Structure 1
Amino acid sequence: MTRGITRACAVLATSLLATSLSVTGVASAQSPDTVSVRLLAFNDLHGSLLPPEGERSQIMQADGSYTPAGGAAYLAAYVSQLRNQASNSLLYSVGDNWGSSALESSMFNDEPTVELLNRMQINASAIGNHELDDGLAEFRRMESGGCSAENACTFSPTFGGANFPLMAANMTYTDGTPATLPFTVDIVDGVPLGVIAIAASNTAQIVAPDGVSTLKFGDEVEAIDRTADVLDFFGVKAITVLLHRGDEPDIAGGPNDCNVTSGPARDIALRASPKVDVIFTADSHQQYNCEYPDPAGNPRVVMQGASHGRIVSVADVVIDRTTRDVLRDQTSSFNQIVTHDISPDPDTAALADQAWNAAAEVAQRPVGTITADLTRDQSPSGESAIGNLIADAQLAAGTARGAQIALTNPGGIREDLDTGTVTYRQAHAVQPFGNSLEVLSITGAALKDALEQQFQSSPEYLPFERILAPSAGFTYTLDRKAPAGSRVSEMRLNGENINPDTVYRVAVNKFLAEGGDGFTALRSAIETTGAGNDLDALVALFTSGSPVAPPATDRIRTVG
């Protein structure tokens, strides 16, 4: 067998090729010597059945102007239109189909989103980190169906799960056994096309660790190369990768600009096997359409389609019938914005309306008012007004359990709030994960260790920071230029110095309590007590304290 292929992968590959080949697009090719195939992909849908609101409601066009975009009914309409324009087509998702979802999806355990994907007849999906937000067991239910979860099957009497493969070639159990399919193959007009899916190698650090404790996520490039070798061994030469890693363009651009000079997806694309012909990326919620050289020096398309159903990425490839490989010089690609100037797909619109009508009474309920915008904009200290408010809400929720301090992670805050009335749906959009709150008993020394972990590094990134929002009454000094481990000093609670040996009660969400985002020091808690959940805490603050004013962002003093 080819280099680096384990016996388990070889057996799996043989089984897949024997049982999982499907036939699509039997229309005649444009030339007797070639087959033309349109590859379509979207990414980071996040349960967006309705057109997204807030900052994600619009998208930049090629001329720099913005247009409303997204919504499942328009996404389905564009997919149908794009497929009808081609003799042969395959449709993929690059992951984060659900998780951090809009209320009309998450209220029903994201079962409406799985139904949407089934109706759209996607050929395969990568597994993003958010598919694992609720742990492996719930992922298996979403994959295979059933009503075992709390509040399951409240959208429909039954739930059959996904009709498409959810894949990650680098996701294994801790003993190295594959935990899911690494690839699938479709036969298009007699020619096989393989697609490999790749999860982020840091998935275990960015989801609740306990939910994926039985899983490992390997190096992306190694998994791509190994799996491409398997496909090549079995005669599959045309290969696409669904990579759940993304880049941040240096400057904002239109859907088909490529303003990316660095990032994890670009790095992977430059190093991954030259046997791969097209790479669709995800996770960063950006739009770009790039062409990078593979390790053999041949150009290949690398692209991403924003998020929340606002873009369909399209790569038109031509395959030589004799070699079965993609003729790279004939590949063309574009990102199609999902505008609202076409007729929405009626079947999908009915599904979205059904979900909204079931959720509307809860969604539209006012929970409070705010006197000024609450945003995630960071002050020089790294604090944000909405982050500090959420920390205050979590402290209030944990007070009955003895909480003295609360800390919350910026990655768990997903939207801003505009001045005026706040509805339950808007509050949910800010805190969509439904994380339980935990009140931890930890020493002052462990608390300092956790704050020092706000500064981290990883192999593919320069050092970066995640500043936790602190609750009122807790202050400290931050020196970013100080050596690692000594950047935090002068910690005080209501003016009193934090004693390294004293035990304090600190409220955090479960994600942080389990060491998520690298805050492993919080796992040293001597005792843990439940205190409700983060969304309920935020709603309670609005309900009891309205009108609410944005808190100051002066709890962290910066020097240096």
Structure 2
Amino acid sequence: MMSRSLLRLVLAGAVATGGALLAAVPADASNAPKTVPVRLLALNDFHGNLEPPTGSSGRMVDENGNTVDAGGAAYIAAHMKALTDKNTIAVAQGDLIGASPLISAAYHDEPSVEFLGKIGLKVAAVGNHEFDEGYAELRRIMKGGCHPVDGCSPAGKWKGAQYDYVGANVLFKNGDTKSDALAALGHTTEVKQLMADWGVPALPPVSVKWMNGVPIGFIGLVTQTTPNIVSSDGIKDLKFVDEVKAANIASKLLKLVGVKAQVVLVHEGDQVTAGQSPDACSAVPGAGNRIATQVDPEIDVVLSGHSHQAYLCKVKDPAGHDRLYSQGGSFGRVITQVDLKVDVKSRDIDRASIVADNHVVTRTVDPDDDINDFVKLWKDRVSSVADKPVGKITADITNTAAPSGESPLGNLIADGQLAATKAGGNAQIALMNPGGVRAPLTYAGSPAKEGDGVVTYGEAFTVQPFNNLLQVVTLTGAQLKTVLEQQFTGGPNNQAFTKILQPSANLTYTYSKSAAWGSKVSDIRIDGQPVTDAQQIRVAANNFLVGGGDAFAGFKDGKDVWSGPLDIDAFVEQLGKDNPIAPPATTRIKVVD
């Protein structure tokens, strides 16, 4: 017989109570219907977009092929309210927080987590961005308490998320580490065997929600590439294992306690053919499809995230049966609705009953008044910081890559990072990862009425929202060449696609499009002087790159690490120099065939 502590884990995560299990069985089973309805409403990759996102991030192709304005917390709430019925469970597939606008990020995303609780979210997989500030901060967001450095927000002591965060493939590296999830598992023979195959979970792996007398099990997964895309210090005690293996073990855990209706919430997905309806199966099979087709046949539905795309697909599970595989875009622009029926006797999902629809969160409906007021409150709280002018520009400075891979904004950021690290860290060059340049700087004034060409702190923060620490390391010339080679596919670090690091103005080199990996980069120069293999070079970058992020493992060979200011502070300081600033040229890298 399974222990009560295991039941508690399965019901609602590592520390929830298990009373609902006993109360959920119908008093008169003979009068029970053969099937009962369940509706899932899913969000993914919200990224703290409480205000309606702007530019292309705030537009979505709808079911009719029209591009419409979409997103914004008050509109999400209105659509959720319209779609919610008594059979509804609201879920999410990660990156609800992190890389967020200042309105949320200034308070460590507490406003966004509170909003998600207000609209009824019950279970969410962790995404990679949930780890942006490290595992300890994620636990604070989950459990409550004021930030250890910045203290309480204007709302007072943080009470914790009102929904369960789950992550079955997030484990402790040290098998002796104490774990809330491990403590709740119990010590039955079955569980001991599962743990031998699994490891020590750092997060609750599953959550079970009862609806209409039947249990629905939710398995959380995050991309196993997370260590490559978040800062290493915050997750140094964690490992992120294969999603399929973890899902299959979690599925067995659910089956041990009789939970056969199973849904995977996975923060991994695929790219799509552009311009398709959000209801089309336009996903190009990749990492997400691998998970959706390989996880245990007991799993009925796979809801995905991470790639910021919208699609509804039927894929085959390992037993050859159809299984729903979907994603709902990003930034709160799409709500995925899944209607299904659960057989009361078998407690399994009738897959033939599954109907899915990706609803675009249009702004043609009346916004929810309460959430509108909630967003306005937080906007007012942050406005004194966000609206402060920090510099001037002569024209748009974009993060769009030139043929060389450089962007004007990436180059400007690299120049600022070099300037900010010269004195203390003796930096000679700087390199910036392009994925960390999140938005362009636009010349036209914003609703804050700062005026054309004026850059506010809020606009600068939108460009650099991660609060990464700038660091300087010593690399040899040969090691620098290795780092630059790691920009391209084909190397041992499995770089998924070419990522050109943005160089400071004094670093130039040539790369060949046709040369083999390892021989692509040549003629590296610093301040016009050729770099030799044995030369000692002080290289500035953010701590994400220095920790080997984005598959730039060569940075981890650096010595004599020096830590300096935050990247946003260096960027703001750069924006305050030489005003007004013109877009930098993108001629630091020469490309040859």
Query: Do both proteins adopt the same fold according to a TM-score greater than 0.5, normalized to the shorter chain?
Result: yes
Partner residue in 2 for 1:433: 466
Query: Is residue 491–residue 518 contact of structure 2 (8 Å, CA) maintained in 1?
Result: no
Does residue 414 (structure 1) correspond to residue 447 (structure 2)? The answer is: no
Report the Cα offset of residue 91 of structure 1: 0.5
Change (3 A) 1:297 1:462: farther
Report the Cα offset of residue 463 of structure 1: 4.7
Cα distance in 2, alignment partners of residues 33 and 336 from structure 1: 29
Could you report, residue by residue, the CA deviation over 1:501-542 in whole angstroms, capped at 9, with x for unpaired residues?
Answer: 221221111111122112222222222223312112222222
Query: Is residue 376–residue 386 contact of structure 1 (8 Å, CA) maintained in 2?
Result: yes
What is the identity, as a one-letter code, of the residue corresponding to 1:70? G
Query: Is residue 25–residue 89 contact of structure 1 (8 Å, CA) maintained in 2?
Result: no
Change (3 A) 1:17 1:262: closer
Query: Is residue 155–residue 355 contact of structure 1 (8 Å, CA) maintained in 2?
Result: no
Query: Is residue 264–residue 460 contact of structure 1 (8 Å, CA) maintained in 2?
Result: no
Report the Cα offset of residue 180 of structure 1: 0.9
Partner residue in 1 for 2:450: none
Cα distance in 1, alignment partners of residues 587 and 229 from structure 2: 28
Query: Is residue 457–residue 464 contact of structure 1 (8 Å, CA) maintained in 2?
Result: no
Query: Structure 2 matches for 1:124-273, cutoff 5 A?
Result: 124-174=123-173, 175=175, 176-273=199-296
Query: Structure 2 matches for 1:465-476, cutoff 5 A?
Result: 465-476=498-509
Q: Which runs of 5+ in 1 are unaligned?
A: 2-8
Partner residue in 2 for 1:35: 36
Change (3 A) 1:53 1:21: farther
Cα distance in 2, alignment partners of residues 66 and 99 from structure 1: 26
Could you say what secondary structure the match of 1:541 adopts? Answer: helix
Could you say what secondary structure the match of 2:84 adopts? Answer: helix
Could you report, residue by residue, the CA deviation over 1:10-56 in whole angstroms, capped at 9, with x for unpaired residues?
Answer: 99744424744748999999982110100111011111111112321
Could you say what secondary structure the match of 1:455 adopts? Answer: coil
Report the Cα offset of residue 481 of structure 1: 2.8
Cα distance in 1, alignment partners of residues 221 and 423 from structure 2: 44
Does residue 509 (structure 1) correspond to residue 532 (structure 2)? The answer is: no
Query: Is residue 111–residue 155 contact of structure 1 (8 Å, CA) maintained in 2?
Result: no
Cα distance in 2, alignment partners of residues 188 and 429 from structure 1: 40
Cα distance in 1, alignment partners of residues 423 and 343 from structure 2: 69
Does residue 312 (structure 1) correspond to residue 365 (structure 2)? The answer is: no
Report the Cα offset of residue 369 of structure 1: 2.6
Cα distance in 1, alignment partners of residues 411 and 201 from structure 2: 42
What is the identity, as a one-letter code, of the residue corresponding to 1:71? G
Query: Is residue 279–residue 302 contact of structure 1 (8 Å, CA) maintained in 2?
Result: yes
After TM superposition, what 4+ stretches of structure 1 lie above 4 angstroms from structure 2?
A: 9-15, 20-31, 456-463
Partner residue in 1 for 2:100: 101
Could you say what secondary structure the match of 1:330 adopts? Answer: strand
Partner residue in 1 for 2:497: 464
The one of 504, 525, 528 equivalent to 1:495 is 528
Partner residue in 1 for 2:378: 355
Change (3 A) 1:95 1:498: same
Could you say what secondary structure the match of 1:548 adopts? Answer: coil
The alignment's TM-score, normalised by the length of structure 2, stands at: 0.88
What is the identity, as a one-letter code, of the residue corresponding to 1:95? G
Q: Which moved more, 1:288-297 or 1:306-315?
A: 288-297
Change (3 A) 1:235 1:39: same
Report the Cα offset of residue 559 of structure 1: 2.0
Cα distance in 1, alignment partners of residues 585 and 76 from structure 2: 40
The alignment's TM-score, normalised by the length of structure 1, stands at: 0.93
Query: Is residue 10–residue 254 contact of structure 2 (8 Å, CA) maintained in 1?
Result: no
Q: Which moved more, 1:262-271 or 1:211-220?
A: 262-271
What is the identity, as a one-letter code, of the residue corresponding to 1:113? S
Query: Is residue 240–residue 279 contact of structure 1 (8 Å, CA) maintained in 2?
Result: yes
Could you say what secondary structure the match of 2:366 adopts? Answer: coil
Does residue 276 (structure 1) correspond to residue 299 (structure 2)? The answer is: yes
Partner residue in 1 for 2:190: none
Report the Cα offset of residue 232 of structure 1: 2.0
Cα distance in 2, alignment partners of residues 280 and 135 from structure 1: 25
Percent of counterpart pairs with the same letter? 41
What is the identity, as a one-letter code, of the residue corresponding to 1:483? A
Partner residue in 1 for 2:587: 554
Query: Is residue 44–residue 94 contact of structure 1 (8 Å, CA) maintained in 2?
Result: yes
Could you report, residue by residue, the CA deviation over 1:83-117 in whole angstroms, capped at 9, with x for unpaired residues?
Answer: 13xx3110011111111111011111111112112
Cα distance in 2, alignment partners of residues 194 and 124 from structure 1: 10
Partner residue in 2 for 1:449: 482
Could you say what secondary structure the match of 2:576 adopts? Answer: helix
Cα distance in 1, alignment partners of residues 326 and 494 from structure 2: 20
Could you report, residue by residue, the CA deviation over 1:219-278 in whole angstroms, capped at 9, with x for unpaired residues?
Answer: 111111121122123211111110100111022212212212322111211111121111
Q: Which runs of 5+ in 2 are unaligned?
A: 12-16, 176-198, 444-452
Query: Is residue 44–residue 92 contact of structure 2 (8 Å, CA) maintained in 1?
Result: yes
Partner residue in 2 for 1:424: 457
Cα distance in 1, alignment partners of residues 332 and 300 from structure 2: 24
Cα distance in 1, alignment partners of residues 389 and 465 from structure 2: 17
Does residue 377 (structure 1) correspond to residue 377 (structure 2)? The answer is: no
What is the identity, as a one-letter code, of the residue corresponding to 1:239? Q
Cα distance in 1, alignment partners of residues 3 and 281 from structure 2: 37
Partner residue in 2 for 1:6: none
Change (3 A) 1:370 1:342: same
Report the Cα offset of residue 456 of structure 1: 4.4
Could you say what secondary structure the match of 1:327 adopts? Answer: strand
The one of 273, 292, 298 equivalent to 2:321 is 298
Could you say what secondary structure the match of 1:315 adopts? Answer: strand
Partner residue in 1 for 2:88: 89
Does residue 48 (structure 1) correspond to residue 49 (structure 2)? The answer is: yes
Report the Cα offset of residue 148 of structure 1: 4.1
Cα distance in 2, alignment partners of residues 510 and 548 from structure 1: 27
Query: Is residue 20–residue 185 contact of structure 1 (8 Å, CA) maintained in 2?
Result: no
Partner residue in 2 for 1:521: 554
Query: Is residue 144–residue 162 contact of structure 1 (8 Å, CA) maintained in 2?
Result: yes
Could you say what secondary structure the match of 1:258 adopts? Answer: coil
Report the Cα offset of residue 545 of structure 1: 2.3
Cα distance in 1, alignment partners of residues 120 and 148 from structure 2: 25
Could you report, residue by residue, the CA deviation over 1:361-416 in whole angstroms, capped at 9, with x for unpaired residues?
Answer: 21122222322322222222221121111111111212223222110001111111
What is the identity, as a one-letter code, of the residue corresponding to 2:564? A
Cα distance in 1, alignment partners of residues 273 and 10 from structure 2: 41
Cα distance in 2, alignment partners of residues 67 and 368 from structure 1: 33
Could you say what secondary structure the match of 1:312 adopts? Answer: strand
Partner residue in 1 for 2:449: none
Cα distance in 2, alignment partners of residues 298 and 378 from structure 1: 43
Does residue 392 (structure 1) correspond to residue 397 (structure 2)? The answer is: no
Change (3 A) 1:459 1:93: farther
Aligned length: 551
Report the Cα offset of residue 300 of structure 1: 1.7
Does residue 72 (structure 1) correspond to residue 53 (structure 2)? The answer is: no
Query: Is residue 493–residue 551 contact of structure 2 (8 Å, CA) maintained in 1?
Result: no
Q: Which moved more, 1:368-377 or 1:386-395?
A: 368-377
Query: Is residue 38–residue 87 contact of structure 2 (8 Å, CA) maintained in 1?
Result: yes
Query: Is residue 58–residue 69 contact of structure 2 (8 Å, CA) maintained in 1?
Result: yes
Does residue 287 (structure 1) correspond to residue 310 (structure 2)? The answer is: yes
